[in-house]
Amino acid sequence: MKLAVIGTGVLGSTIGRRWLEHGHAVTYGVRDMSAARPGLMSERAEIASIPEAVRDAVATLVAIPGSAVENLLETQAAALDGHLLLDASNDSSGGAFHHLPAFEARLPTARVYRAFNTLGWENFAQPVIDGQQADLFYAGPQTDDRQVVEQLIANVGLRPLYVGQGVAGADLLDGVTRLWFALAAGQGYGRRMAFKTLHLPLTDEPG
């Protein structure tokens, strides 16, 4: 599968590396080719301009700081609109962590999912903790694109769990992200902390 990653920091490079390990073709989209990190060329990854990276990609990961999302949407709208996007950014400057209304306004035909934003990058590099596979909550439209999104989450080594769509779904993920920060930093659990959902199989039997 051809995939694009916008964002060459530790988050984007970690997820991109996991996808490469599963045989996907990964291209990092960058604004300035001369400033691209040389290490990204390892492990068969490619580097291109953002429009070139996204053009033929089945899905594109947005893994940039939340404060940079508005500028990305303003300058790259033509390249991003109409594509399947996985938004992993978090804007901690105040209010919502997500920019879903801005995505919807700037990219009216894009299919935008929130994913990879509720855990620290360390858990994408090593998704198994004490023998347990971590869960990853995600949100987005209820379309066939969910199959691709869930495959890409699973390829990173996490179990995908869908929580809803629209702003309500994105807001719910914001709450999960705040919980992760509260436990990882505020309560001293550390960044190698993730979530695991347990449930009994649904039955038709009452009570």
Structure tokens at 4: 């694009």
Q: If you search the block for the tokens 């902390």, which residue do you land on?
A: 193
The pLDDT of residue 32 is 79
For residues 41 and 39, what is the distance between their CA atoms, to the nearest angstrom?
A: 5
pTM: 0.94
Q: How confident is the model at residue 201 (pLDDT cuts 50, 70, 90)?
A: confident
Position 113 confidence tier, pLDDT thresholds 50, 70, 90: very high
Answer whether 112's CB lies under 8 Å from 85's CB: yes
Per-residue pLDDT band for 203 (boundaries 50, 70, 90) equals: confident
User: Cα–Cα distance between 28 and 3 in angstroms, integer?
Assistant: 9
At the second CATH level, the architecture of 2-186 is: 3-Layer(aba) Sandwich (3.40)
Q: Where are the beta strands (DSSP E) in the chain?
A: 2-6, 25-30, 46-49, 59-62, 84-87, 111-114, 128-129, 132-133, 135-138, 159-162
User: Which residue, 176, 169, 140, 164, is CA-closest to 59?
Assistant: 140
What is the dihedral sign for C-alpha 68, 71, 72, 73?
Answer: positive
Residue 179 has pLDDT above 80, yes or no: yes
Domain spans in the chain, listed from the N-terminal domain onward: 2-186
SS3 letters for 52-87? HHHHCCCEEEECCCHHHHHHHHHHHHHHHCCCEEEE
In terms of C-beta density within 10 A (0-12 exposed, 13-18 middle, 19 or more buried), how is residue 28 classed?
buried
